[in-house]
Structure 1
Amino acid sequence: MALSQAATSEPEEASPRTRQRMQVGGPVGSGGRRESCRPGEKRLLGAGGTAEGSAPAGKRLRPEPGPPTPAPASPPAPGSPEENGRDGAWDAESDGSDAGTEAPADGHSQLSAYERKRLKNITENAKFFAALKLHESAARLHQIATKRQSHVTKRAKPKKAEDETVRRRSMRLQRVEPSGIPVAEVAAQLGAEEYPQVPAGPLPMVPEGETENSKLSEELLTTWMRISEMKAEDPAEHTCDMKRYQDSLSSMVLSPENVKKVVKYRVCSMAIHPSQSLLFVAAGDKTGQVGLWNVSCTSDEGAHVFVPHSSSVTCMKFSPCNPAHLLSLSTESLRCGDVSRAVFDEICRSEDLSSFDFLEDNACSALVGFWHGDVAVVDRRTPGTSWELSADIGFKRTRTVHVHPVNKQYFLAAGSVDVCVYDIRYLKSSGNRPVSSLVGHTKSVASAYFSPVTGSRVVSVCADDKLRVYDTSSLSPTVRALSTIRHNNNTGRWLTRFQAVWDPRREDCFVVGSLARPRQVELFRDTGELLHAFSSPDCLGSVCSINVLHPTKNILVGGNSSGRLHVFKEE
C-alpha cells in the first residue's frame, strides 16, 4: 500500500545532484504503470526506500542492460502524455537527452534546454549588434581621430579687420601721440627727422625750413633785439595785498587768438622774456626744438622754430642781465642763443644733463645738474665746453637745481627722494654733506624751487601726490614741511611731469598744472589754500604741465603735450 501511494504521488523534489529522471517504458509498478530507468540512472524509490526489483537500500545499484527503447515515429504533440512522459512528471529542467526524444537539428544534442536557450539568446544578440554596425563606426571614428591628431597645427590668431568697429579708447591706450600720429610712425619720424644729430660748436640762428637771409626770421630777431634793450622794472614794485592780487587773477582770461602751436611735440620747458612792451615766449620740446613766439604779433608768422639740440629741452632761461641771451639745456649740451650775433653758442657739452641755474646775476657762471646725480659748475668766460668743478652730492638722480635768490652760495637740489640745500663753497669731488635736508618725501621729486624774492620758502612736487612747502628762512640740518597739499601728480609717460613755480612777484603764491576736469591751471598759497584756477571751457581742453608767470605783468603761459601754448592775460 505504501509502495502504491509512492508510485501514484509526485516525488519530492531532490537536489540537482540526486534528482532522478523518470522515463516511460519500464516494468509495471504496483500502481499499474510501467516504470523503467535509463542506463546509468536509479529506479524510482518506493515507500521502503528501495526500487522494485533492486538491491537493498544502502547498496550501489548497477544499471541493468537492456535493449534501447525505440523512438516514436513522429514527435509527440505539445501537452500530450508522450510529451510530458505519460505520467505527467517530466522534469522541466531536464536536458532532453533521453533516448525517447529526437536530437535537435542544430547539433547541440548534448546540451540542456537552458544552455540551448542561452546560446540562442547570445546568437540573437550578436545578430542585433551586428545589424547596428558598432564595430565599423568605432573603427571609422578612431581613424578620424588619429588623422586629426597627426595633422594638429597651432592656429594663428585672426587679424582684426581694418574697418572693425572698436569702442572708444584714449590716445594713451591706442599708443597714439597727442598730435594724433601713431607711436610707431612717430618713432620712425623721430629717427629720421625730429632727432637730427646737431653738430658740436656754434650753430647759426636760422629757423627750421627757412634760409639764413629770410625776411621773416630777420623780423623776429630784430624784435627780440629791440625789446631786450629796454630795462625791465623791479618785480617788488608790483607787490600788492591779497585782495587786489586775487582780483587781478580773476581778470586773466584765455582767448582763441592766444592759443598757438609753437613747437611740434610735447613742451618740456618755457621761458618768458621780461619785456613789458610786448609778450615774447620761448618753448622747448622733447625733440630738441626751440620755438619763439611773439604773442603780440597777430599774423601767422609770429612763431618760428629753431633746432639747436638733439634731444629734449628740459630747462630754459633768459639771461637776467641781458635778455638778448636765451640759455637752453638738453641732455647733451647747454647752449646760449645770442640774438645780437644770431648764433647758438655751445657753453657745455656732456651727457645726462638735466637742469641748470645761474650762480651770479651777470649770468657768467651756471650750476648744472646731471641725471646720474652729480652737479657741476660751468663758467661761460672759460674757453671750451667743459666744466670747472664736478661734485658727487650723493644723489642717485638730480632732476632740478636752483640757486638761492639772495645768498648765492646756497643751492637746492632735488633728486629721487631727496631735497637738500648745499653750500657751493665747500663742494668737492665726493663726500659732500648737505647744509639742510628737506624731509618727508616718499617717492621721486619732480622739482623744488626757492621763493623768488627772499628764498624763505621752498615748494616741491612729489610723485606721492603731494605738494610740500618748507620754511627755509633758517637752514637747520633737518627741515619739515610747513604745509602739505594733496594733489594728483600722476602724469605718466604721456605728460611732462608737473613743476610748481613761484609767482616772480610774490613770496607766498605758486602755480602748478592740474589733472582736474575741466582742464585748468591751479594757483596755491603757501598755506595750502587754492586761490584761483585758470580755466577756459572753449579754449583749454588739455593738461598744461609746464607753466610760467610773467615777472612784472598779469600773464600766465601754459604748455601742453601737443606743443601748444595757452596765454592767460588781462583783457
Structure 2
Amino acid sequence: MSGSGSAAGQAASRQPPPVKENEYKENQNITYLSLNPVQTTLLRKTAKVYLAPLSLSNLDQFKYSEFLLEKNSDNEVACEEYKTKIKKTCAKILTPKMKATSSKAESTLEKSSLDVYTESDKLQDKSNSDAVILSVDMESSQDGDSDEDTTPGLDDFSGLSPYERKRLKNISENANFFASLQLSESAARLREMIKKRQPPESKRKKPKKRREEIGCRRSMRLLKVDPSGGSLPATPTQPTLVADETPLLPPGPLEMAPENQNDNKELFKGFLQTWTTVSKTCNKNTEKGISSIKSYKANLNGMVISEDTVYKVTRGPIYSLALHPSETRTLVAAGAKFGQVGLWDLTQQPKEDAVYVFQPHSQPVSCLYFSPANPAHLLSLSYDGTLRCGDFSRGIFEEVYRNERSAFSSFDFLTEDASTLIVAHWDGNMSLVDRRTPGTSYEKLIDSSLTKIRTIHVHPVHRQFFVTAGLRDIHIYDARRLNSRGSQPVIFLTEHTKSIASAYFSPHTGNRILTTSADCKLRIFDSSCISSQIPLLTTIRHNTITGRWLTRFQAVWDPKQEDCFIIASMAYPRRVEIFHETGKGIHSFFGGECLVSVCSINAMHPTRYIMAGGNSSGKIHVFMSDKSC
C-alpha cells in the first residue's frame, strides 16, 4: 500500500495543478510579456496566440503542445513550422544565461506554464485546427541561427517587439556583409596605386624670366627711335577732333565743289548746265490724277532693279532722300551722316562719272527737299544748326538759316513758292524763316509744348496747319497762333506708347496722318476735319526695331497715290513694302542679289514710277519701270 500510495503521490505531483482560466491576471506584475490573446490570421482562420516565457522546468509543456499540433490533422503545415521553431527555442533556452536563472523566476514560469496547459485544453475543445502555442522567442527566432555570439539572449530582447528584433538582426547581417567585402582595404590599395603612378616632382628649380626694361616687343616708331638706334626728332602734335566737337563750316555761301571729281572739272560743269536746263523746262503742273488700285499695282509690278541701278553714293549711313521731279532724267539726292550730300544722275553712264559728293554740312543731313518753286534748288538741313540751298545754276551752297546754339531736325515749306519755311529744333523749339528778306533771312523763334521734335510737315491744302512728331505725342499747330513765349497745339494725339519717328499728312488732300512709332505699329488718323478730336482709323503691325546701326524707319506717302505709303522692312529676304491706308499690303519690292540690305529711308518720284531706297552704308537702290528708263 505504501508503494502504491507513493506512486500515486508521484503521479499527482507530475500532473499540473488545476488553474483557473483568468488566473493569469494575478501575475501582471511580472516583467515578461503579457498573456493577453493576440489576434492573428493563419491559413485563413483566426487563432488566439498566447505568449509565455520559457524555462528549464516547462520543457514538458512543449511536448504537450507538440502533441496537440500532431493531433490536429488540418494544420499540417503549421505543425511542421511549429516543430522547427520549438527546436530552435529549446536550443536558446539551454544557453548559460538561462541556466543561471533564479529559482524564483523558474517557479513563476512553471505557474504560467500551467495556465498555458489549461487554456490550450479549452481551445482544443472549440476548434480542432486553430490552437497554437508560441514562446516569447518564437517570433524573433531566425532560420538556423543559434550561435551564442551572434544571437542575443532573452533578456536583451525582453522589451522589443518582433519587428524591432527582426530589424536589429538585419542591421547586424548587413554590417557583417559589408565587413566581408573589405571596402576600406580596397580603397587603401587604390590610393597607393594612384600615388605610385604620379611622376616624381622635379627638384630642379625653374629659372626665373628676366624682366626686360622695355617689356614686350614694341615698334621703333612708338619708341621714337630710328633703325640705327638714334632718337627721332620731335614731331609737332596736331589737335585731334572729337566726333561730337566737329567744328561748323564757315557761314555764308560755299562753293559746290565735288569731293570725288576734282580732276574732271569740265564734266562737272556740264552736269550743272544740264540740270539747270532741265529744271527750267520742268513743268510745274505735272500732277496726275489718282489712279485706281488695280492699275497702281500693275505699274508697281513693272518696276525692277538691276546692277546698273545700285551704287554707293555717300560715305556714311543715309539719313534723307529726294528725287528730282524731272520727267526726262532721273536724279537722286542723298543726305548722309557725316554732312555729305550726294547726287546721282542715273541717265548718265558710266556710274562712276555720274555721282558727285559735296560737303555742305559737318553733321548728319536729316532733311532734303527740291524746291517746289525752282527744282534747280536743293535745300538741305543738318544737325549742325544750318539750312543751306544748293543752287545748280550758280554752283554754290547758299546759307538760308543758321543757329549755332541749337540743332535742327526737320523743315518744310509753309508757302508754295518756298519763300517761308518752318524749321524744327531737337530741343522742341521752332523757327519761322522768311527768305524774302534781302541779305539774311528773317527768323522768329517759337517755343512749342514739346520737349523734342523729330519731324515737321505742313498740310498740303490748308497750309496754316502743320503736324509735329515729338517723343510720344503728335501735335497739330496753327501757324497763325504761334507765340514766341509758348504756343499751344490745336490737337493732341496721344495714342502712341513709345517714341515716334515721323508724322506726315497725305500728299493731295491732307485727310490722313501717317505715323511711325517704336512700338512696332503704323497708325493712320482721320484728319479730314481738324477739330478737337482726330479719330484713329487703322493700326498696322510692322517691325520698326532697327537697333543702333540702322537708320530709323519712316513711313512716307507715295506722292502719286493719296491712300498708299511706303516703308522699309526687316523681313527676309530683304524688301521694301507698300501698304494701303486700310492696312492691306499692296506690293513688295524684292531685288534678289541686288537688294541684300535694309533700305531704311525710301522716296518715290512725284509723277513717275521710280522708287529709291538708301541703306546704312551709303548705297542707293533704285527700282524703276522700263518706261522710265
Which of the five TM-score ranges fits, normalised by the shorter chain?
Answer: 0.5 to 0.7
Q: Does 1:302 align with 2:369?
A: no
1:282 and 1:292 in contact (8 A); partners too: yes
Q: Which one of 604, 619, 623 corresponds to residue 549 of structure 1? A: 604
Q: Deviations over 1:100-154 (max 9, x none)?
A: xxxxxxxxxxxxxxxxxxxxxxxxxxxxxxxxxxxxxxxxxxxxxxxxxxxxxxx
Match of 2:386 among 333, 349, 356: 333
Alignment partner for residue 363 of structure 1, among 380, 401, 418?
Answer: 418
TM alignment of 1:165-564, pairs within 5 A:
197-211=248-262, 214-232=265-283, 234=285, 236-299=287-350, 300-331=352-383, 332-350=385-403, 351-383=406-438, 387-564=442-619
Q: Secondary structure at the match of 1:257?
A: helix
**CA distance in structure 1 between the partners assigned to 2:576 and 2:246 by the alignment:** 31
Moved more, 480-489 or 429-438: 429-438
Summarize the Cα distance change of 1:254–1:394 in structure 2 as closer, same or farther, 3 Å threshold.
same
1:237 Cα shift?
2.0
Report if aligned partners of 1:266, 1:561 keep a CA contact under 8 Å in 2.
yes
Measured after TM superposition, the shift of residue 238 of structure 1 is: 4.4
Report SS of the residue matched to 1:434. Answer: coil
Distance 1:190 1:307, change over 3 A: farther
* Equivalent-residue separation in structure 1 for 2:241 and 2:600 (angstroms): 22
CA separation in 2, counterparts of 1:455 and 1:189?
49
SS at the partner of 2:278? helix
> Could you say which residue in structure 2 is the equivalent of 1:39?
none
- Kindly indicate whether the alpha-carbon contact (under 8 Å) linking 1:392 and 1:431 is maintained by their aligned counterparts in 2: yes
Instruction: Report the CA distance shift for 1:310/1:436 in structure 2 as closer, same or farther (over 3 A).
Output: same
SS in 2 for 1:429: coil
The 2-side partners of 1:524 and 1:327 are apart by 29
Aligned partner letter, 1:293: W
SS at match of 1:478: coil
Cα drift, residue 341 of structure 1:
1.2
Instruction: For residues 430-455 of structure 1, give each alpha carbon's deviation from its aligned partner in whole angstroms, at most 9, with x where no partner exists.
Output: 33221122231111110000001010
Question: Residue 388 of structure 1: SS of its match in structure 2?
Answer: strand
Residue type of the partner of 2:572? R
In structure 2, distance between residues paired with 1:459 and 1:221:
36
Alpha carbons 1:549, 1:556 under 8 Å: kept:
yes
Q: Which amino acid aligns with 2:294?
A: K
Per the TM alignment, residue 211 of structure 1 is displaced from its structure 2 partner at its CA by: 4.5
Task: For 1:389, give the aligned amino acid.
Answer: K
Q: Is the 8 A contact 1:264 1:562 kept in 2?
A: yes
Specify the code of the residue in structure 1 equivalent to 2:278.
I
The CA distance in 1 between the partners of 2:560 and 2:454, in whole Å, is 25
Q: Is the 8 A contact 1:238 1:552 kept in 2?
A: no
Contact 2:323 2:332 in 1 (8 A): yes
What SS does structure 2 have at the residue aligned with 1:225? helix
Name the TM-score, length of structure 2 as normaliser.
0.59
Contact 2:261 2:356 in 1 (8 A): no
Specify whether residues 189 and 554 from structure 1 end up closer, same or farther in structure 2 by C-alpha distance, changes over 3 A only.
Answer: farther
User: Structure 1's 536 and 434: CA in aligned 2 closer, same or farther, altered over 3 A?
Assistant: same
| Cα distance change of structure 1 residues 210 and 250 upon mapping to structure 2, 3 Å threshold | closer
Query: For residues 257 and 540 of structure 1, what CA distance do their matches in structure 2 show?
Result: 12
Among the aligned pairs, what percent are the same residue?
50
* Cα distance in 2 between the residues matched to 1:458 and 1:514: 20
Q: Which has the higher helix share?
A: 2
User: What SS is found at the alignment partner of 1:246?
Assistant: helix
Deviations 1:353-385 (A, max 9, x none): 110000111101100000001111001122465
The structure-2 alpha-carbon separation of the partners of 1:385 and 1:313, relative to structure 1 and needing over 3 Å to count, comes to farther
Q: CA deviation at 1:305?
A: 0.3
User: Offset at 1:209?
Assistant: 4.7
Distance 1:555 1:521, change over 3 A: same
Q: Letter of the 2:297 partner, please give it.
A: Q
Please list the CA deviations of residues 493-551 of structure 1 after superposition, one character each: whole Å capped at 9, or x if unmatched: 11111111111111100001111111111101001111111111110000001000000
CA distance in structure 2 between the partners assigned to 1:189 and 1:536 by the alignment: 42
Note the C-alpha offset of 1:195: 5.6
- Counterpart CA distance in 1 for 2:537 and 2:256 is 45
Q: Distance in 1 between matches of 2:286 and 2:513?
A: 19
Distance in 2 between residues matched to 1:218 and 1:423, nearest whole Å: 44
TM-score of the aligned structures, taking structure 1 as reference length: 0.65
**Structure 1 CA distance for aligned equivalents of residues 478 and 598 of structure 2:** 37
The yes-or-no answer on 1:569 pairing with 2:617 is no
Q: Provide the secondary structure at the position in 2 that maps to 1:354.
A: strand
CA 1:195/1:255 → structure 2, altered by over 3 Å: closer, same or farther? farther
By how many angstroms is 1:479 displaced? 1.9
Amino acid at match of 2:444: L
C-alpha distance after superposition, 1:86-111 (max 9, x if no partner) = xxxxxxxxxxxxxxxxxxxxxxxxxx
Q: Is the 8 A contact 1:440 1:480 kept in 2?
A: no
Q: 1:272, 1:209 → 2: CA distance?
A: 21
Question: Against the structure 1 CA distance between its residues 440 and 387, is the aligned structure 2 distance closer, same or farther, given a 3 Å change threshold?
Answer: farther
Quick one: distance in 1 between partners of 2:476 and 2:463? Answer: 12
1:320 is aligned with what amino acid?
Answer: P
Could you give the per-residue CA deviations for residues 169-206 of structure 1, whole angstroms, max 9, x where no partner exists? Answer: xxxxxxxxxxxxxxxxxxx99859x9664211110111
AA matched with 1:280: L
Structure 2 spans left out of the alignment, 5+ residues: 1-215, 217-238
Distance in structure 1 (CA, Å) of the matches to 2:285 and 2:603? 18
How far is 1:255 from its partner? 0.7
Q: Secondary structure at the match of 1:221?
A: helix
RMSD of the alignment, in Å?
2.2
Give how far 1:418 is off: 1.0
Letter paired with 1:277: T
Tell me, yes or no, if the aligned pair for 1:349 and 1:385 is still in contact at 8 Å. Answer: no
Letter of the 2:319 partner, please give it.
C
